[in-house]
Chain A
Amino acid sequence: MQDAFFYIFAFLTLVFGFLVIANPFSRNPVTSAMFLVLTIVSLAGLFVLLHAFFLAAVQILVYAGAVMVLFLFVIMMLDLKEEERRKIRKLGVVGGLISAGAILAIFLSSLLKREALLGAVQSPAVEGGTVPLAKLLFTQYLLPFEIVSVLLLVAIVGVVLLSKKDLK
């Protein structure tokens, strides 16, 4: 049953991910953003299958909620027209496919040498609920947690500064 769900969610993730970068029907950035939302939601499904319940919720709330709303706001604000078809750069496509193929080759060659993965637990018991994660976050990782809050403050100040009308 779980395996069937894995294949469904993995398939959906990859199909939606493909539609983000290359949609044969529309070149409007809004459709890309919508498919990115769907990709993120199906990734959250995979997180649930991995028993990372808290992260699945955060993924939907923060990514599909906040980040994608920000994206759609900006697309709306810039009032982007349907992207006109330009000539596809052969060099860009070839370069992209070569680099992606190289990464795939490296990954597959390391996957075939299975030694590194032999340490993997066969029947894992770790549960990513809110309580165990919070215990770790507020004890062992307290300092990084506080630093991240400072980082968010810096981002807020930076965004306010950047979006002022008369940017020097």
Chain B
Amino acid sequence: MNVGLEHYLVVSVLLFCLGLVGVIVRRNLLVIYMSLELMLNAANLALVAFSRYTDSLDGQVFVFFIITVAAAEVSVGLALIVALYRKRQNAHVEDLTTLKL
């Protein structure tokens, strides 16, 4: 069976689900952040596959922008985590309950 658009989409959606499970199940803030990166990469893969199989480069330009924005997002998010860790000395989501009623 020839590899087509569907194959790439299946890989992409499986990777996305892995990331989603990671975000919900894991409790270390940094690992949650890595799972978010997994989800972003899954979306990138789907976009590149669509771009290839619809014969237009627009999807790849979009992925280029996503990678740039993800880099900015990671730097700001990690700075937030560092600032949080300085105040609380911990990176566990279960111990951060200031907003809990």
Q: Which residues of A contact B (CB under 8 A)?
A: 2-3, 6-7, 10, 13-14, 17-18, 20-22, 29, 32-33, 36, 39-40, 43, 46-47, 50-52, 54-55, 58-59, 62-63, 66-67, 70-71, 74-75, 77-78, 80, 83, 86, 88-89, 92-93, 95-97, 99-101, 103-104, 107, 111, 117, 119-121, 124-126, 128, 132-133, 136-137, 141, 144, 148, 151-152, 154-156, 158-159, 162-163, 167
Contacts and interface: CB of A to CB of B under 8 A. Distances in A.
A100 B20 contact: yes
A83 to B, nearest CB: 6
Interface size class of B (residues with CB under 8 A): 35 or more
Contacts of A52: 48, 51-52, 60, 63
B96 interface: no
Contact of A46 (B45, B75, B80): B45
B34 A36 contact: yes
A136 B10 CA distance: 29
B96 to A, nearest CB: 14
B101 interface: no
Contacts of A55: 44, 48, 60, 63-64, 67
A90 B29 CA distance: 19
B82 A151 contact: no
Contact of A100 (B1, B21, B57, B70): B21
Q: DSSP class of A's interface residues: helix, strand, loop or mixed?
A: helix
Interface of B: 1-11, 13-28, 30-31, 33-35, 37-38, 41, 44-45, 48-49, 51-58, 60-61, 63-65, 67-76, 78-83, 85-87, 91, 94
A96 B37 CA distance: 17
Nearest to A56: B48
Contacts of B68: 62, 148, 151-152
A86 B90 CA distance: 15
A71 B37 CA distance: 11
A32 B25 CA distance: 14
Contact of A117 (B6, B70, B78, B87): B6
A14 B14 contact: yes
A121 B64 contact: no
B28 A83 contact: yes
Contacts of A17: 15, 18-19, 38
A18 B18 contact: yes
Nearest to A2: B3
A141 B68 CA distance: 14
A47 B21 contact: no
A43 B41 contact: yes
